[in-house]
Amino acid sequence: MTSQELQATAKAMVAKGKGILAMDESNPTCGRRFKKLGIENTVDNRRAWRALLLTTPRLADYISGAILYDETIRQSTSDGIPFPPYMGQCGIIPGIKVDTGAKDLAGFPGEKVTEGLDGLRERLTEYKGMGARFAKWRAVITIGNQIPSRGCIHANAHALARYAALCQEAGIVPIVEPEVLIDGDHTIDRCHEVTSETLRAVFAELKEQRVLMEGMVLKSSMVISGLDCPKQARVKEVAEKTVECLLKNLPENLAGVAFLSGGQSSELATAHLNAMNAMHRGLPWPLTFSYARALQQSAMETWLGKSENVAAAQKLLCHRAKLNGAASVGSYSEEMEKEAA
């Protein structure tokens, strides 16, 4: 793949009015979400859930691509069509999570480093052969007493950059995801400081590793109050501080930014994205969504593992995707919440 093709794929991932569906939960994470709703964590249920998501009518109107998990990319629709070609037919670009998870960082209590570089070149070749056109790697930065450390930020930034370079070598667009966790009682200003330091380090490493900015997508967390912070910043402040932080730290030629939802409610995740786009026209890059929970939650609560609930769950997913599509161009309003299904 030439750099033109990488750029074209990256552009399509952040196309106007569309965002990315994250459905790459590992089996244990998927199991935790299922368990809360009394759904058994079996390979069949995981396949049925992913088939429900991907076969949602009109999903491609609002969803440019979907991130799959290793088990999922090998699975098929109920009609026996493997997911990647099925997605291709619908106009949804197949993506794949390639990191192997965040592990304890030796010597840094309470901090994590994401693993998965060993053998990555070969795995990327295999996934490319299966139809994947983009990939994802998530690094986790925790805010707490005396953390994050520079050592943790640097180790994660370096791994993200090595991963991104390998992806582009393989003709796969990397989604670079440094997630600053929402967990904790920190203020929005502390989140701003940590997010800024993290993004600065990540883009310095990406530059060192010669990663093509036009051929990658940043998946960022928003600048937001910690979940347990007594003073919760309002929507406008989250939007302002997030955009300010991005403008300060991102190169202008980056293909785009797709936010994670990170434990925000579905409605807030949409409202935050909308406020950023409504308040700031003419930013250097599109700002859109790459949500997992904030897209899937209401649909999963309706599905409950039962085939008779599939159509109702798909309606909810499509509606949520539509609202986020509107938020990605700043045209969402709270009234749109009511026109649900």
Q: Show which residues are catalytic.
A: 177, 219
The region, left, alpha or beta by phi > 0 then psi within -120 to 50, assigned to residue 164 is alpha
Among 9, 168, 198, 261, binds ligand 13P (CB under 6 A): 261
Whether cis (ω within 30° of 0) applies to the bond prior to 148 is yes
Q: Which residues between 128 and 147 bind ligand 13P (CB under 6 A)?
A: 138
Q: Is 9 in the site for ligand 13P (CB under 6 A)?
A: no
Min separation Cβ 295 and ligand 13P, Å:
7
Q: Are 45 and 305 in contact (CB under 8 A)?
A: yes
Q: CA–CA distance from 143 to each of 35, 186, 268, 288 (Å)?
A: 28, 7, 21, 25
CA distances from 239 to 188, 212, 300, 337 (A): 11, 27, 28, 20
Using CA atoms of 185, 138, 249, 290 in order, give the dihedral in degrees to the nearest 10: -90
Name which position in 113, 160, 161, 292 contacts ligand 13P (CB under 6 A): 292
What is the Cα–Cα distance from 4 to 10, expressed in whole angstroms? 10
Query: Least CB distance from residue 60 to ligand 13P, whole Å?
Result: 19
Which residue's CB is nearer to ligand 13P, number 131 or number 262? 262
Out of 51, 194, 294, 327, the only residue in the binding site for ligand 13P (CB under 6 A) is 294
217 is an interface residue for ligand 13P by CB under 6 A: no
Binding-site size for ligand 13P (CB under 6 A) equals 10
Task: Please choose, out of 120-128, 143-151, 224-232, 256-264, the segment that lies near ligand 13P by the rule CB under 6 A.
Answer: 256-264
Q: Which is nearer to ligand 13P, 207 or 301 (CB)?
A: 301
Overall residue count recorded for the chain in this entry? 341
In 159-218 the beta strands, taken as DSSP E runs, fall at 173-180, 217-218
Assess 327 for contact with ligand 13P (CB under 6 A).
no
Interface with ligand 13P includes 72 (CB under 6 A)? no
Binding span for ligand 13P by CB under 6 A among 104-112, 121-129, 287-295, 299-307 = 287-295
283: left (phi over 0), alpha (psi -120 to 50) or beta: beta
Q: How far apart are CA 29 and CA 144, in angstroms?
A: 23
Q: What is the H or E stretch that residue 51 is in?
A: helix 43-54
22 touches ligand 13P (CB under 6 A): yes
* Contacting residue, 21, 260, 273, 326, with ligand 13P by CB under 6 A: 260
**Residues forming the site for ligand 13P (CB under 6 A):** 22, 138, 177, 260-262, 291-294
